[in-house]
A = this chain, B = another copy of it.
Amino acid sequence: MSNHCCKFRKLEPLPHTSVTFNDRFWSPRLKVNREVTIPHNLKMIRETGRLDNFLKAAGKMKGEFRGFFFNDSDVYKWMEAVALSLATHLDPKLEADLNEAIDAVAAAQQPNGYLNTYFTLREPDKRWTNTRLMHELYCAGHLIEAAVAHFNATGKRTLLNVACRFADCIDGIFGPGKRRGAPGHEEVELALVKLYHATGETRYLKLAQFFLDTRGTEPSTFLAEITNPDEKWDPSVFQAHLPVRQQFEVVGHSVRAMYLYSAMADVYAETGDPLLLAALDKLWANMTGKRMYLTGGLGSTARYEGFTSDFDLPNEAYAETCAGIGCIFWNHRMLGLQAHSHFGDVIENTLYNNVLSGVGLDGASFFYENPLRRRNGGKERTPWYDCACCPPNVARLLASLGEYVCSKSPEGLWIHLYAGCTINADVNGVPVKLTQKTDYPWSGSTEITVSVKAAAEFAVCLRLPGWSREQVISVNGAPVQFANSNGYACIRRRWADGDKISLKLGMEPVRVEANPHVEADFAKVALRRGPLVYCLEEADNGRELFAVTLPNNAQVKAEFKNDVLGGVVLLEALAEMPDYSRWDGKLYREATARGASHHKMTAIPYCCWANRGAGEMIVWLNSAE
């Protein structure tokens, strides 16, 4: 990645290319991502005119701009996914597709570096007049991220040069002594930090910081852009209600929020500004303590795709896939700043539940929203969206999954995610290979083999998941004492080639309850096993799932079923359904002792829901003494 100073970063991420998966959970999903999702995205991008918009803006094709004004960003996210994928898996066809897209993008760039096909084609004289809503900077951010990924993957500057020219164009407009401003949809800030890492040009870092510093300060540059005096403007939807260092609650549009906090972490990593870290800690505590779904989903309302108020977590949630992805970005950065397992817990939880829910097992059907309850007639997966932010976003996250498995520090290696894979890293320049052998998340046993050329002393630190009741760790068959460092079991020793670490995490199914301030989950329980949240689907359990009651003493059995949903552990229990008889057409009656009938209940991992057609789904079940 970057070889610039990271003086305040405690953990340094490994590039995603250092990890090779070979398990039965992730490997097939990543294969589907490469072979189905990424080509499917391109197909839809082409069919919907998103690539043509660049050719039109370049004067190479006739016709008008098509689609939403921010459609360029979908192309860029797809390009980033391809670049990330090519870095681990060569694919000449995909590389040719990417190069064709790069040519189109480069051709659409204006002589002054400006690049946005909507404005070039539709409203050339309106550039930069509505930074609040019109997403020029947002699109620029995704261009930059794609360019950096392409540069990192190939060493080629074809796209990076385009991105730099556009970044320079932006830097020529915005900044101290130039125009005050900030993006209505955050994204360019974190991208500019990446561009700084890729190029070493500090002006990009400074511009990112400038955007952060301007956001939420008076006079509001957003307010100044509003021409309709009757427009009701809520700056909190844009996280522009307060200067960023004074923010303490996660508010507004969830994706915007996650990208903002990611950028704040990035800038903190470079500057060490303690006010940024203090704000991030408060925001993180508010999000995880009061505004996050059990699945890691973020956003309680569809109205502005965002957060509402503390503990307001209706199960017909918004929980946008992109917000979950942004949450992983942010927590990965937080993990870099403060090696604490609770950031890893959020990454794992969001990844295995909210984000995986966003893409069907077929790799070509998606959810924009990931609710914890689907009523009869609720939304189904679709192959695309007019606002198609999520499909390419999930593609780029999965293509870079290796990045989230392990980090390094001068002390050693920090394993965040358990998965069958090999990890190639170095500790202070000494090459180390770690081989994880596990059937995670179906099994809680992981064996990690250390491969070194010569014995070397360093630490291997294993995240102790917040969900696990007990952890047993041994090295070469002998129990080891380990230091618990902020939720990581740090085993420091002189490792010999072939040393084996064994980690056993209890994987019994557990009932989870929500804080009693959460109305939607009051007196209910959800089932979880390891990192996976479970749900009931109509396909297994019939309708009116809200009426299923799981007695507190009902035994919940886990069993792997090879023939269900590509192979999953199902949870089964003897639950209860109400006695519907003797109501005689009545709607209300004097309350009686409640009769109940047995209901053989089958729960599936939430990440696999909605792969068997329409039907009800529920996560939170009634509990009963």
**Chain A interface residues (CB < 8 Å from chain B):** 285, 288-290, 292, 294, 469, 510-519, 522-523, 525-526, 544, 546-547, 549, 552, 578-580, 583, 585-592, 594, 622-625
Please give 4 more A-B residue pairs, beta carbons under 8 A apart, in addition to A512-B588, A512-B590, A515-B587: A290-B587, A511-B591, A522-B546, A591-B623
- A289 with B512: CB separation less than 8 A: no
Chain B residues within 8 Å of A587, by CB: 288-290, 292, 514-515, 518
Q: Which residue from chain B places its CB closest to the CB of A589 in the assembled complex?
A: B513
Chain B residues within 8 Å of A580, by CB: 515-517
- A592 with B522: CB separation less than 8 A: no
**CB < 8 Å: which of B289, B513, B515, B622 contacts A522?**
B622
Chain B residues within 8 Å of A289, by CB: 585-587
Q: Which residue from chain B places its CB closest to the CB of A518 in the assembled complex?
A: B587
Chain B residues within 8 Å of A579, by CB: 516
Q: Given the complex of chains A and B, what is the CA–CA distance between A625 and B549 in angstroms?
A: 14
- A589 with B523: CB separation less than 8 A: no
Chain B residues within 8 Å of A589, by CB: 512-513
Q: Which of A512, A513, A516, A519 counts the most chain B CB atoms within 10 A? A: A516
**CB < 8 Å: which of B511, B522, B549, B588 contacts A547?**
B522
- B623 with A625: CB separation less than 8 A: no
- B588 with A514: CB separation less than 8 A: yes
Q: Given the complex of chains A and B, what is the CA–CA distance between A514 and B588 in angstroms?
A: 4
- Can you name 25 A-B pairs with beta carbons within 8 Å? A285-B585, A289-B585, A292-B587, A294-B588, A469-B590, A510-B591, A511-B590, A512-B588, A512-B589, A512-B590, A513-B590, A513-B592, A514-B587, A516-B547, A516-B578, A516-B583, A517-B547, A518-B587, A522-B546, A522-B622, A525-B591, A526-B588, A552-B591, A624-B625, A625-B625
Q: Which residue from chain B places its CB closest to the CB of A519 in the assembled complex?
A: B546
Chain B residues within 8 Å of A512, by CB: 588-591
- B294 with A513: CB separation less than 8 A: no
Chain B residues within 8 Å of A552, by CB: 591
Q: Which of A515, A519, A585, A588 counts the most chain B CB atoms within 10 A? A: A588
**CB < 8 Å: which of B290, B469, B523 contacts A523?**
B523
Q: Given the complex of chains A and B, what is the CA–CA distance between A513 and B588 in angstroms?
A: 6
Chain B residues within 8 Å of A590, by CB: 469, 510-513
Q: Given the complex of chains A and B, what is the CA–CA distance between A563 and B115 in angstroms?
A: 71
Contacts A292-B587, A590-B511, A623-B591; A544 near B523 (Cβ below 8 A):
no
Nearest-Cβ distance from residue A387 to partner chain B, whole angstroms: 21
3 closest A-B pairs by beta carbon, nearest first, are A516-B578, A511-B591, A513-B591
Q: Given the complex of chains A and B, what is the CA–CA distance between A112 and B127 in angstroms?
A: 60
Contacts A510-B590, A523-B523; A515 near B546 (Cβ below 8 A):
no
Chain B residues within 8 Å of A294, by CB: 588
Q: Given the complex of chains A and B, what is the CA–CA distance between A622 and B623 in angstroms?
A: 12
Q: Given the complex of chains A and B, what is the CA–CA distance between A290 and B515 in angstroms?
A: 33
Chain B residues within 8 Å of A546, by CB: 519, 522
Q: Given the complex of chains A and B, what is the CA–CA distance between A560 and B587 in angstroms?
A: 30
Q: Which of A586, A589, A591 counts the most chain B CB atoms within 10 A? A: A591
**CB < 8 Å: which of B288, B290, B523, B592 contacts A622?**
B523
Chain B residues within 8 Å of A522, by CB: 546-547, 578, 622
Nearest-Cβ distance from residue A512 to partner chain B, whole angstroms: 5
Chain B residues within 8 Å of A583, by CB: 515-516
Chain B residues within 8 Å of A526, by CB: 588
Q: Given the complex of chains A and B, what is the CA–CA distance between A588 and B289 in angstroms?
A: 8
Q: Given the complex of chains A and B, what is the CA–CA distance between A621 and B622 in angstroms?
A: 15
Q: Given the complex of chains A and B, what is the CA–CA distance between A547 and B514 in angstroms?
A: 12
Q: Which residue from chain B places its CB closest to the CB of A527 in the assembled complex?
A: B591
Nearest-Cβ distance from residue A390 to partner chain B, whole angstroms: 24
**CB < 8 Å: which of B517, B549, B591, B622 contacts A544?**
B517
Nearest-Cβ distance from residue A333 to partner chain B, whole angstroms: 21
- A544 with B515: CB separation less than 8 A: no
Q: Given the complex of chains A and B, what is the CA–CA distance between A547 and B517 in angstroms?
A: 8
Chain B residues within 8 Å of A292, by CB: 587
Q: Which residue from chain B places its CB closest to the CB of A511 in the assembled complex?
A: B591
Q: Which residue from chain B places its CB closest to the CB of A577 in the assembled complex?
A: B516
Q: Which residue from chain B places its CB closest to the CB of A592 in the assembled complex?
A: B513
Q: Given the complex of chains A and B, what is the CA–CA distance between A288 and B583 in angstroms?
A: 13
Q: Given the complex of chains A and B, what is the CA–CA distance between A286 and B549 in angstroms?
A: 28
Chain B residues within 8 Å of A591, by CB: 510-513, 525, 552, 623
Q: Which of A289, A623, A624 counts the most chain B CB atoms within 10 A? A: A289
Contacts A523-B622, A591-B623, A622-B523; A586 near B547 (Cβ below 8 A):
no
Nearest-Cβ distance from residue A580 to partner chain B, whole angstroms: 6
Q: Given the complex of chains A and B, what is the CA–CA distance between A595 and B287 in angstroms?
A: 25
Q: Given the complex of chains A and B, what is the CA–CA distance between A40 and B625 in angstroms?
A: 54
Q: Given the complex of chains A and B, what is the CA–CA distance between A294 and B587 in angstroms?
A: 8
Q: Given the complex of chains A and B, what is the CA–CA distance between A566 and B135 in angstroms?
A: 58
Q: Given the complex of chains A and B, what is the CA–CA distance between A138 and B70 in angstroms?
A: 47
